[in-house]
Amino acid sequence: TVDQLTRVEEVEKYLEPFQLSLEMLQEVSARLRKDLIRGLGKRSHHKAPVKMLPTFVRATPDGTEKGDFLALDLGGTNFRVLHVRVEEEEQRVLKMNSQICAIPKEIMLGTGEQLFDHIAACLGEFLESQKLKGQTLPLGFTFSFPCEQLGIDKSILIRWTKGFNCSGVEGKDVVKLLKEAIHRRGDYDIGTVAMVNDTVGTMMSCGYRDQNCEIGMIVGTGTNACYMEEMKHVKRVEGEDGRMCINTEWGGFGDDGSLNDIVTEFDVEVDKTSINPGIHIFEKMISGMYLGEIVRLVLVKMTKDQLLFKGQMSEALRTPEQFETKLISEIEEPDSGLDNTKKILTTLGLDWEPVDACVVRLVCDTISSRSARLCAAALATLTNRIRTNRKLDHLKTTVGVDGTVYRKHPTLLYPFQNQSDVCLGSLSCWNTQLCPSSTTSTLCNVPIHLGSKTSPEHDDATTSWYSVL
């Protein structure tokens, strides 16, 4: 009918701004390439939105590492503690025990001392449960926030992201704050502390079994990536020889307005109501902390315009952050997605028709596909930089990937793979293998079929102990 055709046209009009063309993705890649260079420069770094932070990691693992290590991971609402034993056997056996501690909202928004006391308490409980309190083990600390790393054991927090806003931490050495919290307890001690960003840990974790891995990428609560850069281009660190891993902090891409032409009205609203407006614009278009809210805002406007639910809004749909990103994953399940959608809409208190469920699935698919395409464009930029740095026509590399969105979204990597393959067109010829960074699974050197349901579950903190090897 005419009404149905009009409805379809209106829905398509809402979603059109999220549908980025190949030409636009190539333009995004070109803009990011310029920002990478700005971030590496000694004089241009301080104004660069993509910070390109030196990590002081000069090589990837060679597989001969062994020993006992502790690992801590802080980067979301859960904090993880692990004891990892690497045994020198043919299969490089990894034995792990772990514990997860929740981080209450009041601690996420409290003082730095409260946060690090909580971390130290969790670590103490874990050491007690594992009968490790008498030992002084080296510790890898994965701290997944933008930091200026001054050494492997000294890292200054630049700013909080991902919902954290603890006072008295920005501008301070987080390794020192952790050690001080442990010292205040006085009931255990730790050895060498190696600070590592989660992207670096992911790259090192994957690289332990695949020496071709020179890029690490996170698509989870936030998004970020690292890669191996030529030392001669790292202008803020002395030395010309060899390579160093650079933590790009690409979540800040667009903070200077360079992405304004692809930012939608819904992205603007998400940014405006976040705890850090104007910061990490690229991350807010991609990551799990924000995707659900973008979908909710689209559904709210469609409902107000009589395109969904007969124009009737429920209290849940009206409430910010009530449409969690995990619902997108459930809605986009290939086999059960439509049934899941109907259950979710009922739970949200909405009076829906079958066509409403189909439109909601389309909205979720469109927004998560944009996330995948933007990640693909950014990853293509890093891969092409490595290739051109080495003056190669063809680069074979492996990308270590982790994060809850990567692991739990059922179809995200189909558009990601497709756009990665074509994003640079004839400008580059390369082979990227996406390698889940889980040390609880068997990693191998063969290409992984992206989007399959065989990706293993993974505790992020399993990556951090590689930094102390």
Q: Are 328 and 291 spatial neighbours (Cβ–Cβ below 8 Å)?
A: yes
Annotated active-site residue in 35, 117, 173, 198: 198
Spell out the residues 6+ positions from residue 197 whose beta carbon is closer than 8 angstroms to its own.
53, 55, 142, 143, 144, 147, 224, 226, 247
**Phi, psi (degrees; rounded to nearest 5) at 237:** -125, 135
Helices of type H across 137-239: 174-185, 198-207
Is 35 a catalytic site residue?
no
Q: Which residues contact 354 (CB under 8 A, 6 or more apart)?
A: none
Residue with tokens 């409430």: 319
Out of 162, 179, 402, 460, the active site residue is 162
DSSP 153-175: TEEEE----TT---BT-TTSBHH
Name residue 401's beta-bridge partners.
217, 436
Active site residue 162: yes
Q: Which of 54, 47, 40, 21 is nearest to 255 (CA)?
A: 47
Q: Which of 370, 371, 138, 158 is nearest to 247 (CA)?
A: 158
Nearest to 294 by CA among 246, 365, 230: 365
Cα torsion through 244, 245, 246, 250, rounded to 10: 160
Nearest Cα neighbor of 130 from 96, 164, 166 is: 96
Report the catalytic residues: 162, 198
